[in-house]
Amino acid sequence: MQRQSDGFKNITASGVLVAVGLSLAAATSLGFARFAYSLVLPTMRLALHWSYVDAGAMNTVNALGYLLGAIFVTRITDRLGNRRSFILAGVGMTVALGLTPISGHLIVLLALRAVAGFCGAVIFVVGSSLAQQAARELTKAGAAVILGIYFGGAGLGTAISGALIPAIHLDAASLWRLDWGVLALLTLLAMVVAVIAAYRVEDPPARSVTERHLGHFRQLLPAIIAYGLFGFGYLAFLTFQVALIRQQGQPSSRVVIAYVVFGLVATLSGFVWYRPLAGRRPGLVAALIYGSGAVGAGLYLVSTTLWVELVAGVLFGLALMSCSTAFGVVTRAVLPPSLQTGAMGLATVSIAVGQSLGPLVTGQIADSHLGLVWATGVGAAVIGLAGVVSLFQRTHDDVGLRA
Which residue ranges make up each domain of the chain?
12-203+216-402
Top CATH class of 12-203+216-402 equals mainly alpha
Give the C-alpha separation, 381 to 99, whole Å.
36
Give the C-alpha separation, 56 to 63, whole Å.
11
CB 29 within 8 A of CB 186: no
Question: Taking phi first (over 0 means left), then psi (-120 to 50 degrees means alpha), and beta for anything else, what does residue 172 get?
Answer: beta
Helices (H), 269-393: 270-277, 282-299, 306-320, 322-334, 340-367, 371-390
CB 176 within 8 A of CB 43: yes
Tell me how far the alpha carbon of residue 163 is from its chain's centroid.
18
Give the C-alpha separation, 12 to 142, whole Å.
10
Q: What are phi and psi of 210, to 5 degrees?
A: -70, -15
Give the C-alpha separation, 304 to 180, whole Å.
29
CB 193 within 8 A of CB 21: yes
Q: pLDDT tens, position by position, for the chain (403 residues)?
A: 344 444 455 667 778 899 999 999 999 988 888 778 877 887 888 888 888 788 778 877 887 898 899 888 888 988 888 889 999 999 999 999 999 988 888 899 999 999 999 999 999 989 988 988 888 777 777 888 888 899 888 888 888 887 887 777 655 556 788 889 999 999 999 999 999 999 988 876 665 555 455 556 778 888 999 999 999 998 888 777 777 777 777 776 777 787 788 888 988 888 888 788 877 787 788 899 999 999 998 888 887 788 888 898 899 989 988 888 888 888 877 777 667 777 887 888 888 888 778 877 888 888 887 778 888 889 999 999 999 999 988 765 554 433 3
Q: Which residues contact residue 49 at a Cβ distance below 8 angstroms, ignoring those fewer than 6 apart? A: none
